[in-house]
Structure 1
Amino acid sequence: MPVLPGPPPVEITLRRSARARRFSLRVSRLDGRVTLSLPMGAREAEAMAFVRDQEGWLRQALAGVPQTAVVGLGTLLPVEGRRLTIREGKGRSPRIEDDSLLVPGDPARVAVRVATFLQARARDRLAEACDRHAGALGRPYARLTLRDTRSRWGSCTADGSLMFSWRLILAPPEVLDYVAAHEVAHLAEMNHSPAFWAVVQRLLPGYAAPRRWLKTHGQVLHGFRFGA
């Protein structure tokens, strides 16, 4: 992987594309990954010369990427909108107590145990919300799955399968509820037409505020690393 030297060095992922007609740089707002798209026949030396010409813009864009926090003891982690400090706990399972998330066991496995705890909690909350909204809509969904998606918070397929990012459990409860209502609304309208938004409004009056929160703060939820 080519590297742009400097303080600090920047790794560049090259992506050749038959559709690319020119060089194009992109910086991920989620993790700061830098991708350079280039035509199939372009030489790497030309590509890196383009990167050097764009270095000022590139470093400015990287400076705006939220910092990544590796989850462990002492991490301040939002859970359902509450800021909890991860601390060493006793017993068999992680639990929330006051302003702490207490995690028993090997400190080296704290991140994995926290992720498992959050995923189970996210499934419970999302299943409750989807059952409630689907009941109000009068349209059942086929199944519910969780993933750690980067590009979307949820989706609904033509067969009624719902998928959500489990990181929604890090957001305030009304945000998770909005995403559940949004995807359940697709059971009736597989589009984003005015008719679709009317369904969302019927399921969740006042959805605009949590939708705005997600657009403004959602990327922060991707800033926590729970493993390699």
Structure 2
Amino acid sequence: MEYQIKRSKRKTMVLTVLPDGHVEVRAPLKTPAELIERFVRSKQDWIAEKQALSLQRLSQRDALLAGPVRQLRLLGTHWPADSRSNQQPAFDGRAFLLPPGTLRELQPGIIALYKQLAKGYILSRVQELSGHTGLTPTGVRITSAAGSWGSCSGKNALSFSWRLILAPPRAIDYVILHELCHTREHNHSPAFWALVAHFMPDWRTARSSLKALAEELRLEGW
């Protein structure tokens, strides 16, 4: 069985089956190769099960990308898609207006639309929540980050993934508040979470919904 080894200053070995089915082993720096090999062999049944699930999900995603666009997500809601119009992707408040084509063909244009919608909505909410909390960023931008919903730089500049526009409004507010709180607390200390809870007592519920959404978006090819 082929697998990739990533060594670091850690104390235990961890095995991961990546979304594409590849196997990755994270191990302490001086772990002997023979010990890693035995560790992987001991997990063969588990690996086979996870790889089969990964292949099934990849097949489902490919089928989705190869088909027509029937609906698209925005602000936590699925909206119908009208693919009869010969124009660039747009949203009229009731439906997405799309040119004919498969999701794979239309995805670049849809993403460009999502970025535009994200910029308008998220920047407006940052301004509103900044005024409410008294926490002011030095700047705000929309990015294509896939590994995180948002971030705060050491100079208090905020960045948000365009994918955040797909989440429900309450979850979007949580991410914005999370990053605004980082302008005061550049860590995840108890003081930081206390600040988040002060402005959003139910932040845990919003965070859980984001974890579920992230998995759905990955399966859908976003």
TM-score where L is the length of structure 1: 0.73
For structure 2, which runs of at least 5 residues remain unmatched after alignment? none
**Alignment check: 8 A CA contact 1:83 1:99 kept:** no
**Alignment check: 8 A CA contact 2:8 2:26 kept:** no
Partner of 1:141 in structure 2?
A: 137
Partner of 1:8 in structure 2?
A: none
For structure 1, which runs of at least 5 residues remain unmatched after alignment? 5-11
Note the C-alpha offset of 1:159: 0.3
Quick one: distance in 2 between partners of 1:19 and 1:207?
32
Judging by fraction of residues, say which structure has more strand: 1
Note the C-alpha offset of 1:41: 9.2
Quick one: distance in 2 between partners of 1:75 and 1:144?
33
Matched, 1:34 2:30: no
Matched, 1:54 2:50: no
**Alignment check: 8 A CA contact 2:71 2:79 kept:** yes
Change (3 A) 1:88 1:67: same
Which of residues 150, 155, 178 in structure 2 aligns to 1:159?
Answer: 155
Note the C-alpha offset of 1:97: 5.5
**Alignment check: 8 A CA contact 1:16 1:40 kept:** no
Task: Give the share of equivalent positions with the same residue, in percent.
Answer: 26
Partner of 1:7 in structure 2?
A: none
Aligned to 1:67, the other structure's residue is in SS state helix
Note the C-alpha offset of 1:62: 4.0
Moved more, 71-80 or 147-156: 71-80
CA displacement, residues 12-44 of structure 1 (integer Å, 9 cap, x when unaligned) = 55235365898642124x66553234668966x
Partner of 1:206 in structure 2?
A: 202
Two-structure CA RMSD over aligned residues (Å): 3.5
Change (3 A) 1:59 1:96: farther
Note the C-alpha offset of 1:152: 2.4
Q: Where in structure 2 are the equivalents of 1:73-112 lying within 5 Å?
A: 73-74=68-69, 76-96=71-91, 100-104=95-99, 109-112=105-108
Letter in 2 for 1:183: E
Letter in 1 for 2:50: A
